Amino acid sequence: MLKFGLLIATLVLSSNVISAEAEKQDPFKLVQVVAQELFDRIAREQDAIEKDPEQLRVVVEEELAPSINHKYAAAMVLGPYYKKSTREQRELFYTAFRQYLIATYAGILTLYKDQQVVFEPAVNIDGKRRVQVKVRVLDEGKPDIRIEFILRKNKAGEWAAYDMVAEGISVLSSKTKELQGLIRQQGIESVTELLLEKSTKPIVTKSIG
């Protein structure tokens, strides 16, 4: 179920930068608009994707990467190692983390089979810097999957996603636990190389279940 939740995170957090610009001021509109844009692109390119799953890497690069605050997420992953690292080490880690996310979401997108996504109503967020956007995923014959997308507002007043919670499990928290342990044991430079290595592995079609 977590993998399927990650799939929907990819679908909902991806965007076309130009058309979604206005929605950056409203996290609820942003989530809905960017989801539809990615659904449409996947539909248009489905034949090419079935022939070559690597096409999904291109889709994620162009649609997802621009709309995710990967630096903020990566800084949270570093945690106590942020101040212990140099600026150069952090920048290299940010780049590797971004590529790792692109490869991860591209792989998850191979699960997409046109499931229905229902967005729960917007709530009052006046004065808040972080907000949760709740979504239900409807898959015929199976229980609904409830997901929460976590977005953060920057100093310019624009919202961007940096985490999601599927069935009570935070993707960012799980990655933080995993990668901080590796950083403690091997160092940030070694983990940066590991992320780059993982990001270059071929995109393999997955199936639910």
Would the pTM of this model clear 0.85, i.e. be above it? no
Structural domain contains residue 149: yes
Structural domain contains residue 207: no
- The whole domain housing 73 covers 2-199
Residues 2 and 24: their CA atoms lie apart, in Å, by 27
Structural domain contains residue 208: no
What is the total count of domains within the chain? Answer: 1
Q: Is 63 within 8 Å of 37 (Cβ atoms)?
A: yes
Instruction: Select, from the ranges 69-78, 144-153, 198-207, the one with the highest average predicted confidence (pLDDT).
Output: 69-78
Structural domain contains residue 140: yes
pLDDT at 18: 43
Structural domain contains residue 27: yes
Sheet with 169-170, strands from edge to edge, namely: 116-119, 130-138, 145-153, 159-166, 169-170
Structure tokens at 178: 């995993």
Structural domain contains residue 127: yes
CA-to-CA separations, 13 to 141, 162, 196, in angstroms, rounded: 26, 9, 22
pLDDT at 209: 52
Assign residue 173 the CATH number of its domain. 3.10.450.710
What's the rounded mean pLDDT across residues 19-33? Answer: 76
pLDDT at 93: 98
pLDDT(6) > 70: no
pLDDT(111) > 80: no
pLDDT at 181: 94
